[in-house]
């Protein structure tokens, strides 16, 4: 009986006392990346970047980003349809003191809106790389303008072997045609099937949804809400997928999600305050959540995150993560949108206690 008690105590203590502590330190606190005020960018707003690892002969050689870019229509908050642009660092980022990317110009566009289904724009890129077939899988929101002027978003997929080449991207269409609204997909591609898609933005359901795929072509939508909003918390108004989950040293996964709560704003008809959180997913069953953050890992504090002048603030008070690069030793470099206008970088450190 003594040994049985010890066995159960060890299991219980592992479940209770294994804790993941996530800390974030901003890298560029001065000027953001792709600052439209420097006169070198062709778009007014460049934000919400997906991280792109560029390989040669199976080795990572460069880092790049797919960025949501928009031109202003001349009014304070008015914009033209979003496009997705490509920007490379021209080398692999090793030192956090030397993060530089190519300027974003009209020649940087790799995905333009096509047809009525994308008349409002192509938004929110998130990228996963499949080392088995050497294809990049781009999850993006194809947004249509309805007859009443309202937008309708459909989570869509495109693939490419060379993400910097516009002509190489092949659209696969909406993943869930039967859903009235879908967007923001974080795709976890594993060495072997099944693979997992975490998606949504609390527009139609009370949190993130889950789909499973064996072939990365057909996605089986699972019942219910996988990651719900939480009342009276930093994620009480909206929960939205961040970058694809990345593995930690113990095999479990770090998954960053974006979220919002009610907050007064200077922008008309707008009242949200965006802060990201995290969950830890089980290495054997990534649908299982081992831990969820009680507090946000970041909050808007820099002028270009809050949207203070002289910075452009298309949407005030936004920190929104869509790109993440592993650095080793449970450290990650994240790329995030600030005030829906610019790109910021930060380092995430995960301590397992």
Give the mean pLDDT of 159-176. 97
The token duo for 253 is 């996964």
How do residues 14-49 score in pLDDT, each as one tens digit? 444 689 999 999 998 888 998 887 788 999 999 999
3-state secondary structure of 13: helix
Return the higher-pLDDT residue of 264 and 63.
63
Torsion 58-211-21-321 (CA) sign: positive
* pLDDT greater than 60 at residue 3: no
Please name the residue that has the structure tokens 């990049």. 136
351 close to 19: Cβ distance less than 8 angstroms: no
The pair phi, psi for residue 19, each rounded to 5°, is -130, 140
Domains of the chain: 21-351 (2.115.10.20)
| pLDDT tens string 186-234 | 999 999 999 999 999 988 899 999 999 999 999 999 999 999 999 999 9
pLDDT at 25: 97
pLDDT at 92: 85
Tens-place pLDDT, residues 84-127: 999 999 788 888 888 999 999 999 999 999 999 999 999 999 99
Query: What pTM did the predictor assign?
Result: 0.93
Q: Which residue has the higher pLDDT, 64 or 147?
A: 64
pLDDT, the chain, mean: 92
Question: What pLDDT score was predicted for residue 57?
Answer: 83
Say how many C-beta atoms besides its own lie within 10 A of residue 213's C-beta: 17
Band (248; pLDDT cuts 50, 70, 90)? very high
CB–CB of 64/337 below 8 Å? no
Tally DSSP H helices, then E strands, for the chain.
2, 23
Percent residues over pLDDT 70 in the chain: 95
Task: Kindly indicate the confidence band of residue 7, based on its pLDDT and cuts at 50, 70 and 90.
Answer: very low
Confidence at residue 93, expressed as pLDDT on a 0 to 100 scale? 87
What confidence score (pLDDT) does residue 5 get? 39
Per-residue model confidence (pLDDT) at position 35: 83
pLDDT of residue 10: 41
Check residue 9 and give its pLDDT: 36
């Amino acid at each position: 009986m003594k040994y049985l008690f010890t066995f159960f105590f060890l299991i219980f203590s592992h479940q209770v006392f294994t804790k993941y502590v996530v800390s974030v330190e901003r890298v560029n606190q001065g000027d953001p990346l792709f600052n439209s005020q420097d006169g070198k960018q062709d778009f007014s707003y460049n934000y919400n970047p997906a991280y792109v690892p560029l390989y040669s002969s199976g080795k990572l050689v460069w880092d790049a980003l797919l960025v949501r870019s928009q031109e202003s229509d001349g009014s304070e908050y008015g914009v033209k349809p979003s496009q997705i642009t490509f920007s490379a660092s021209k080398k692999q980022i090793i030192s956090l003191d030397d993060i530089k990317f190519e300027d974003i110009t009209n020649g940087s566009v790799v995905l333009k809106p096509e047809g009525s289904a994308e008349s409002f724009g192509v938004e929110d890129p998130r990228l996963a790389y499949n080392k088995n077939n050497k294809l990049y899988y781009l999850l993006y929101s194809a947004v249509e303008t309805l007859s009443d002027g309202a937008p309708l978003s459909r989570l869509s997929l495109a693939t490419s072997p060379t993400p910097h080449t516009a002509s190489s991207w092949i659209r696969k269409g909406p993943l869930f045609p039967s859903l009235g609204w879908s967007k923001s997909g974080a795709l976890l591609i594993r060495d072997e099937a099944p693979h997992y898609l975490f998606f949504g933005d609390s527009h139609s359901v009370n949190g993130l949804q889950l789909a499973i795929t064996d072939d990365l072509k057909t996605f089986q939508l699972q019942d219910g809400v996988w990651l719900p909003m939480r009342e009276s918390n930093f994620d009480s108004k909206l929960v939205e997928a961040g970058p694809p989950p990345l593995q930690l040293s113990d095999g479990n996964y770090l998954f960053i999600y974006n979220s919002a709560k009610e907050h007064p704003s200077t922008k008309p008809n707008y009242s949200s305050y965006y802060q990201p959180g995290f969950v830890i997913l089980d290495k054997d069953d990534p649908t299982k959540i081992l831990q969820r953050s009680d507090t946000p890992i970041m909050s808007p504090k820099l002028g270009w995150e809050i949207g203070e002048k002289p910075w452009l603030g298309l949407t005030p008070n936004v920190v929104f993560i869509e790109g993440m690069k592993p650095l080793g030793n449970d450290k990650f470099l994240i790329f995030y949108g600030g005030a829906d206008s610019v790109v910021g970088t930060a380092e995430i450190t995960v301590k397992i206690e």
